[in-house]
Amino acid sequence: MTTTARRPLEGMLVLDLGQVYNGPYCGLLLGFMGARVLKIEPPEGDVVRRRKRDVEPYPLVMLNSNKESVVLDLKHPEGKALFLRLARKADVVVENFAAGVMERLGLGWEALRAQNPRLVYGVGNGFGLTGPYRDLPAMDLTIQAMSGIMNATGFPDRPPVKAGPAVSDFLAGVHLFAGIVGALLYRERTGQGQLVEVAMLEASIMALASAVGALMDADGAVPERTGNRHPALAIAPYNVYSTNDGYVAIFTASERHWHSIARVLGREDLLENPAFASTPARAARMEEIDAMVEAWTRQRGKDAVMAALTTAHVPCAPVRTAREV
């Protein structure tokens, strides 16, 4: 006899005031964990909803598909009163307004905690609830710029480039989700709710471990942008290589991977060569190794490259378009 496993947040109520990507992604994850999530929008709708008037934009559907929809005008006394009624019953509130917005509405953490001491209040913002940047407007683009992600993206001889996806929004959203789950565990142990706050800037900086590591290790030879190569230029092969029908990404993280790709390339002789015997040694010969790998990939299609390297247990992937995904 089989039984259906219960999801960990079943029976919990989440009030999701999130907008655009950051807050809504956190709410989506809480819904995946079994919570009942009410997406609360102002009369004019989520900012993303306003991008198209004839249909619901796909990002809106993608990030809110497991939620119930509620419209409340929190600036109106009746809308505020209804929200307070919901907050008294809720387990979690999620919001990612600019710092101070909910407090000015009389619906911030202190006000809601007075109504519901067990409430977990999750807030995502750009730069934190305190500090010199607190009141700076924040969107994914500006956080990518401020965090260093943009300066680390692109090629050495070209200007900084933003990362294609909204990485700062989603990094902060998953951090906020984790913090809320931790606060719910704390509540189970103590009976008390908590304020959970995640700054997009702080969440984004952690993704720069390799680039910051190169700086802190004082390797002045590493440029600020390294294209598709390792951010600290510490590993080879580690790049995107052309094929006869597109591109593939190849990454050798260990000696085993290097031994495998050398055999695939028909260069077993390199395995006995001291100049290629360690990760730092191979990194010093990056240009030579990249040319060797691409000479092999360029003669083959993506599928053939994938088949050969996957059989050899070398990490690799085709570079796919959004349509292919």
DSSP 229: S
Compute how many other C-beta atoms are within 10 angstroms of the C-beta atom of residue 92. Answer: 26
Cis ω for the linkage preceding 237 (within 30 of 0): yes
Say which of 230, 257, 259, 313 is annotated catalytic.
230
Give me the residue label for tokens 């050398």.
262
- Coil vs helix vs strand at 180: helix
Cα distances (Å, whole numbers) of residue 243 to 72, 137, 155, 305: 53, 43, 20, 8
Strand extents, DSSP E, the chain: 13-16, 36-41, 68-71, 92-95, 120-125, 195-199, 238-243, 246-251, 316-318
Q: Which two tokens stand for residue 279?
A: 């990760």
Q: Is 230 a catalytic residue?
A: yes
The 3-state secondary structure of 274-304, one letter per residue: HHHCCHHHHHHCHHHHHHHHHHHHCCCCHHH
Task: For residue 22, give the nearest of 179, 144, 208, 200 by alpha carbon.
Answer: 200
CB burial class (10 A; 0-12, 13-18, 19+) of residue 142?
A: middle
Q: Which two tokens stand for residue 100?
A: 């101070």
Catalytic residues: 230
